[in-house]
Each structure stands twice: as structure tokens, then as C-alpha cells.
Amino acid sequence: MPKHFARLFAHGALSLGFAIGGAVHAQTVPRSFVASPDIYKVIAQNDQYKVIAVTWKPGQKDVLHGHPANAVYYLTDCSLRIHAQNGTVRQAEVQAGSAIVQVAIPGHILENVGAADCRLIMFEPA
């Protein structure tokens, strides 16, 4: 994983735990697969875990949502723009084969700003 990308995850995936005045801005938002079922598809689950297949088409943007602590494996290279609920916007370039474990992520919107599909598998608690 490139160093600049690893730094993005130091305080939550893709810096999605956007800090405001030292505290994480959190507001109740739906989970990803509820907010954007066309992008986030639950492909397996039991009473402990959900496995979610995620695909953004080029230019596609999901709906405001949040995640509990989770793990992600990128199937493709991804160029993402992350819109935090507080208006902060960040960009991330992710390489296929990258895997991360991340803390809970408050409300955000992800946008595929690349020329190809961005695909990943996400593992979340049920």
C-alpha cells in the first residue's frame, strides 16, 4: 500500500472519521446497504457478520451513510472522492489488493472519480 494511502487510514478509513474540534462529528445515518442498495449488496450474512459486495460505476456517487467498524478488501484500483457530512472533501487512490481494518465511520458520501468500476468487499458486524 502506498505511504500516502496508508496515512489516509491512520485515523479511520480514507480519513472518514473526519475530526471537528478534536471530536468526531457523528449523526445518525443509515448503513450503506440501506442507503444505496444499488451499490452495496449484502451477499452473505449470519448473526455476527455481513459480507457486502460494493461497486461504484465511473462517476457514480452513493447516498449519505455510515459504517460500524469493518474490514475492506479492494478488488480493483479505485479513485475515490470522500464527502464528509461536515462538508470536508478528500480524495484517495487505492490499489487493487489493498486490505484495511477500520474504525466506525460517521456520515459520508463516496464518489468514484475514476474511469473504471471501483469494486471492493466489505466485512461488517451484523
Rounded Cα gap, residues 11 and 126, in angstroms: 23
**Separation between Cα atoms, residue 43 and residue 27, nearest integer Å:** 27
| Residues 73-103: tens digit of each pLDDT | 999 999 999 999 999 999 999 999 999 999 9
Contact 40, 54 (CB under 8 A): yes
pLDDT tens string 12-28 = 444 344 332 233 444 58
The secondary element (H helix, E strand) that includes residue 74 is: strand 70-74
Quote the pTM value.
0.79
C-alpha cell of residue 24: 468526531
Phi/psi at 6 (nearest 5 deg)? -60, -40
Q: CB–CB of 81/32 below 8 Å?
A: no
Q: Does domain 3-125 have CATH number 3.40.50.300?
A: no
Residue-wise pLDDT tens digits, 53-74: 999 999 999 999 999 999 999 9
